Structure 1
Amino acid sequence: MTRLLTRLAVIFIAVGLFFTSQSLAAPQRAAAADPGYLMLHFTGEGTTGQQMYLSHSTDGLHWNDLNDGASILRSTIGTKGVRDPALVRSPDGSKYWIIATDLCWGCGSTVDGSINNGSRNLVVWESTDLVNWSQPWLLNVAGAIPDGRNAWAPEAIWNPDTNDYVLYWATNVPLNGKTKHRIFYARTSDFRTITTPQTYIDRPGSQELIDTQIIEMPAGVGNYRYVRASGDGQITLEGSNSILGTWTNLGNLSGIGLTGAQVEGPMWMKFRDGNEWTLYLDQYASRGGYMPVTTTDPSAAGTYKLPTSGNYNLGGTKKRHGSILNLTAPEESRVLARWPSTSAKRLQSFNFQDRYVRHANFDVRIDQNITGPDAQFRLRPGLAGSGTVSFESVNMPGYFLRHANNDFQLVRNDGSSQFAADATFRQVAGLADSTWSSFQSYNHPDRYIRHYAYYLKLDPITTVTGRSDATFRVTN
């Protein structure tokens, strides 16, 4: 059975050996006062797991799920699922991109269809601050590859030799009627247009290759400026002094018992305190999630060390193929402020206590006995002012309850001051019962959130009925 068939089979079959509290023998890490690390990842199959998640670590070994373990971005385009994301920062730190596989496994797609007639697109988001993201767009990277069947596991790295990014990914171009994924690349400056795709890594014969990630080395460590790790039946290491130049095989990790039949999704991270790196590897065959192996020289296969018990924890959600960013202090402050672990809440109507606020097709109303994510919101610090709240949807992260023309809809935050004001409210004692709550508009303080004919409105409150309609309980 080929590596790919093994990989596909274990998506649906749980195989013993699940590492739940693995750890790593490593030197004492840097003080938590130093900026930490941000991991972008997905968590599993289905429409919920195949979205964008963030985790934070102060030491690179112990991870906390941000946003209470919920997704921070949801794809609304293509297959409406995203996997294998890469987080890209521009050299000057003024822009960021997320690029991800456009694939929703188990959401109506078949194994054969995803491999042989899958999306040729990547899903891309852009940001200027790492917390406010654009609407996603599709970037067709495999459509120009003759007989290219899909586009999986994208990565990108800045290339100083060409002053743009090398964007690389896996595409199945069958060989002798059988599946063969290999790595292609194109150049881009904006992740909206690309040069004609070219073959980047192609192993001999029928050997497939889906996952690869490159890390740039500091001067004085090893003999190469760049090292890449690839899943190609082994976890193969290669070195080069030019991203688009010649690469030299440096060996693999079979010496410590790790092959491509056991692990995939190599994900590099450099520790801040000294010349030490970890290569996180996804234990896909055992469904064990990521584990770190460490080294003081990524180009030397014999220096890698397996984890032992005691020193690492991946947090509450399973981390699947993604990337890690070493944060600056301002980036860390913004990220932690934007996605604190705030539990999901519901808003219960005072005078129709079997009804709760929910969104449906982006409209907002109160419905009976709603418990699902359409009726769950996170009460965030108000977008427009201190001491206020804004309501962010749990299943549509980045979308908030917003009033317009005295009506309410669930709307994506566009970052404008007008949006912030329209989506911000003061939580005050309930107008009908002081043990409950009412929500006063930030920019129209004579008006409150209320329901009318079961739909949410923003109205002045002058009657007993109005006070009841404008009173809610924040509950689980």
Structure 2
Amino acid sequence: MATLRARLWAVLVTVCLLLTAQTLATPQRAVAADPGYLMTHFIGEGATGQQIYFSHSTDGLHWSDLNGGGMTLRSTVGTRGVRDPALVRSPNGDRYWIIATDLCIGCGQSWGDAIDNGSRNLVIWESRDLVTWSQPWLLNVAGAIPDGRNAWAPEAIWNPETNDYVLYWATNATLNGVRKHRIYYARTTDFRTVTTPRLYIDRPGTQGIIDTQIVEVPAGVGGHRYVRTSGQITIEGGDSILGTWTELGNLSGIGLTGSQVEGPMWMKFRDRDEWALYLDQYAAGRGYMPVLTTGPATPGAYRLPGSGTYDMGGTKKRHGSILNLTAAEESRLQARWPATAANRLQSYNYQDRYVRHADFDVRIDPNVSPAEDARFRLRPGLAGSGTVSFESVNFPGHFLRHVGFDFQLAYDDGTTAFAEDATFRRVAGLADSGWSSFQSYNHPDRYLRHYGFRLRLDPITTATGRADATFRVTS
């Protein structure tokens, strides 16, 4: 009996040791269960690249593209392109804003135009849940600056001393006989009205400055409450957002200057006392990389990442911002913008033609250009379970919708009428069961079909109608 007890005890000890070893070997499991990070950014030039994109990371170093790598918001105002987006969360977390540069290089505007006679506006979106966004609006911030010629790279931070936001950006203007980019600021509570702009950061002589971002650090970290990076990737510290700032140094010690990188973007790791300062490698055309530090106010503490320690995902990430997510925010984001593929709808009886939008009208065409006009994401139906809605890839938030039984690409206004008009039941193809047909949710006797190559919603009673109402969902 003693021998049996000894054997049982040995087995129990072995099992406990194995469980302990497994727990010690996999501490990342607890970390992985924590909410991750959202990056808001643009990806390149042209009308498509200069829009709003979202990426997600569980650890702050390895990123995946949300929405299948497609844009999440598209500017329909000003130049109809945006760069340098900043994502702002209200102090109590009940409201969000995206503020961005109104700029579209290669869309009828050159760099020379943008520098000397660009938009004086910023582009703003607002949301209450981080997934449903308003239509964009323009906010004129540089029009009140004497000789103000543009408004670039906006950022904003909540200022507890004044109980509002400090909105700051770069404007090319003439001051004391010198024309160059300087940082200006204004105060706002709603990003719809602002106070009179005032000069914020000016460099000596003809040296200009464009990109600046401020991060709040815990008391005792470097002896400053706030740290900002700007210009030639200098590091500055201050105890008040609108107070005195002290230059602490730069990153030339690790080989980084403003001639190589730009668009500084801070991120605090939630599971340790460490920060990542993401820098856009614009000179090499490589997008963001992280520089790591445990002391944001200590230039000598920054270090380059080791080989293979980070992955920026499928798209190039350029000048944006990072938000540490709550669990609820992360859940909503991943449900709204999963990594789903884009599809095309191929006509059954005109197989060289695909459903596409053109000036927000909807038809079937061959050789669609741009190709994105014929690409849609099949989302769970806006009005009911077991149904589908078709969201445009290059006009996110816009869906195929019938109005008076004619089809258009329209922005989701959140109404019940819109949801029902944009929702369909996918059924076996009326002309070929291997294909698909789409029955209207609110007019179940009618189906999506083409007629004279334009999309309509009609009752289907003939063989021609059945062929017109049959499509293949294809990539």
TM over 0.5: yes
The answer to whether structure 1 residue 389 and structure 2 residue 388 are counterparts is: yes
Contact kept, 8 Å, 2:146 with 2:174, in 1: the verdict is no
Alignment match, 2:8: none
Taking the aligned partners of 2:443 and 2:216, their CA distance within structure 1 comes to: 52
Letter in 2 for 1:302: G
The equivalent residue for 1:73 is: 73
CA deviation after TM superposition for structure 1 residue 468, in Å: 1.6
Deviations 1:145-164 (A, max 9, x none): 01111100000011111111
Residue aligned with 2:467, SS: helix
What is aligned with 2:102? 102
Cα distance in structure 1, aligned partners of 2:158 and 2:175: 31
Provide the residue aligned with 1:44 in structure 2: 44
Cα displacement (A) at 1:442? 1.7
Instruction: Return the offset for 1:304.
Output: 0.8
Q: CA deviation at 1:318?
A: 0.8
1:177: Cα distance to partner? Answer: 6.6
Match of 2:290 among 289, 292, 301: 292
**Residues in 2 aligned to 1:90 and 1:101: alpha-carbon distance in whole angstroms:** 20
- Within a 5 Å distance, the mapping from 1:38-437 to structure 2 comes to 38-174=38-174, 179-231=179-231, 234-370=232-368, 372-437=371-436
- 1: CA distance between counterparts of 2:111 and 2:46? 14
Residue in structure 2 matched with residue 10 of structure 1 by the alignment = none
Give the superposition deviation at 1:176.
Answer: 7.4
Give 1:312 deviation, angstroms. 0.4
State the 1:437 CA deviation: 0.2
Structure 1 unaligned segments of length 5 or more: list them: 1-26
Query: The residue matched to 1:182 in structure 2 has which SS?
Result: strand
Q: Which amino acid is the alignment partner of residue 113 of structure 1?
A: D
Return the letter of the residue paired with 1:428: V
Aligned residues: 448
> Could you tell me which amino acid in structure 2 is paired with residue 244 of structure 1?
L
In structure 2, C-alpha distance between the alignment counterparts of 1:104 and 1:149, rounded to whole Å: 16
Match of residue 6 from structure 1: none
4+ aligned runs moved over 4 Å, structure 1: 27-30, 175-179
Partner of 1:7: none
CA distance in 2, matches of 1:183, 1:105: 22
What amino acid is aligned across from residue 420 of structure 1 in structure 2?
A
Give the superposition deviation at 1:28: 6.8
Separation of aligned partners in 1, 2:107 and 2:446: 42
* Contact 1:30/1:59, CA 8 A, preserved across alignment: no
Give yes or no for the alignment of 1:469 onto 2:471.
no
Q: Secondary structure at the match of 2:363?
A: strand
User: Closer, same or farther in 2 for the Cα pair 1:205/1:29, shift >3 Å?
Assistant: farther
1:175 CA displacement: 5.7
SS in structure 2 opposite 1:35?
Answer: coil
Q: Secondary structure at the match of 2:31?
A: coil
**Larger CA deviation: 396-405 vs 103-112:** 103-112
Q: AA paired with 2:401?
A: R
* Offset of residue 179 of structure 1: 4.2
Q: Distance in 1 between matches of 2:41 and 2:377?
A: 21
Q: How far apart are residue 260 of structure 1 and its match?
A: 1.2
Relative to structure 1, is the Cα distance of residues 166 and 373 closer, same or farther in structure 2, using a 3 angstrom cutoff? same
Question: Which residue does 1:11 correspond to in 2?
Answer: none
**Structure-2 separation of matches of 1:134 and 1:152:** 22
Cα RMSD, aligned residues only: 1.6
Greater mean alpha carbon deviation, residues 425-434 or residues 337-346: 337-346
Instruction: State the alpha-carbon separation in 2 of the partners of residues 28 and 295 from structure 1.
Output: 21
Q: Deviation at 1:368? A: 2.8
How far does residue 30 in structure 1 lie from its aligned partner after superposition? 6.5
Match of 1:466, SS state, is helix
How has the CA–CA distance of structure 1 residues 30 and 315 changed in structure 2, closer, same or farther, with 3 Å as cutoff?
A: farther
Measured after TM superposition, the shift of residue 132 of structure 1 is 1.2
- Aligned-pair CA distance for 1:453: 2.2
What's the % identity of the aligned pairs?
77
1:380-428 Cα deviation digits (max 9, x unpaired) = 1212222211101111111000112211110011122222221111111
By relative contact order (CA 8 Å, sep 6+), the higher-ranking structure is 1
Return closer, same or farther for 1:378/1:137 CA change in 2, 3 Å cut-off. same
Q: Aligned partners of 2:53 and 2:133: how far apart in 1? A: 13
User: Larger % of helix: which?
Assistant: 2
Query: What is the distance in 2 between the residues matched to 1:342 and 1:414?
Result: 23
Deviations 1:361-382 (A, max 9, x none): 1111112343611111111121
What amino acid is the match of 1:119? S
Inter-CA distance 384–96: structure 2 relative to 1 (3 Å threshold): same
Distance 1:223 1:456 in 2: 64
For residues 58-84 of structure 1, the C-alpha deviation after alignment (integer angstroms, 9 at most, x for no partner) is 000000011111111111111111001
Distance in 1 (CA, whole Å) between partners of 2:243 and 2:177 is 31
Q: Deviations over 1:223-248 (max 9, x none)?
A: 111111112xx211111111111111
How far did residue 440 of structure 1 move? 1.1
Change (3 A) 1:470 1:85: same
